[in-house]
Amino acid sequence: MNWAIEEKSYSQRRACALAGIAPRVYRYQSSRSDDAGLRQRLRELSSERRRFGYRRLHLLLKREGVEVNWKRLYRIYKEERLTVRKRGGRKRALGTRAPMAIPQDANQRWSLDFVSDALVDGRRFRILCVIDDFSRECLATIVDNSLSGERVARELDAIAERRGYPCMVVSDNGTELTSNAMLAWQQDRGVEWHYIAPGKPMQNGFVESFNGRLRDECLNEHLFRSYRHAREIIEEWRIDYNLHRPHTSLDGLTPNEFATRSKTGHNVNRASL
């Protein structure tokens, strides 16, 4: 069109007739903005949150005060080729999905989870935290650079030697806790295992709360020179947590005091019977 008008000096009407389009179509100027600022911000958010789809990105933009129709955002999202590819998930052990009863005594239910931190030289380490959900006692904080399923099974056996096996254990679907070693441990010990739903950490709220206290009151307060140093500091904090730290959900008692009082109460009730 432009070539015919500029090079051949055809009139606009004649050039449009030769091209087979109406002159008004040629003269049309789109009133749609190029959305340059929105496109730029959408690309920035997508690079920061690579697994977010357009719906979640739409929410982030609304929080920033950017009002945009979700259909318009979806069009730009597709034009910028920001579509997130779905990842194939591997099969995981499901355990029990029945609602969990509230523990009424010690050893009815333990909770497990991992916490990560680093030494001053940058080497990473992990902490296996084991909690009794009834008394909130921390039964163990196992520190090492690697904790396999076989190691977790050995540590649970070591705890059970002191206080017996629990009726149930609650954990997430981490690879160590869904390994063949752990599945065999559950079956051999006759312990029921409850895996929380993926992405629902508050279904394991007791140990998640403990992890927050551990991070805030211990890990963030110390610099660890070695694995041995980390084990010593964290074990000291665990003992203090059980024996001296008042727990608001236990009416100001320490976990040890609560466990002792509950045990005494059970003995009195049995004696009265």
Give how far Cα 111 sits from Cα of 144, 169, 200, 208, Å.
19, 6, 14, 9
Cβ(198)–Cβ(171) below 8 Å: no
Neighbours of 272 (CB within 10 A): 6
pLDDT the model gives residue 94:
47
What span, in angstroms and rounded, lies between the C-alpha atoms of 182 and 149? 6
* CA dist., res. 240 & res. 246, Å (int): 10
In this predicted structure, what is the pLDDT of residue 97? 46
Beta strand pairing status for 192-195 and 168-171?
parallel
Which of the four pLDDT bands, split at 50, 70 and 90, describes residue 59?
Answer: confident
pLDDT tens across 219-249, in order? 998 999 999 999 999 999 999 999 888 787 8
73 pLDDT above the threshold of 50 = yes
Q: Supply the Cα-derived Rg of the chain in whole angstroms.
A: 31
Indicate whether 96 pLDDT > 50.
no
Task: Note the pTM of the prediction, 2 decimals.
Answer: 0.62
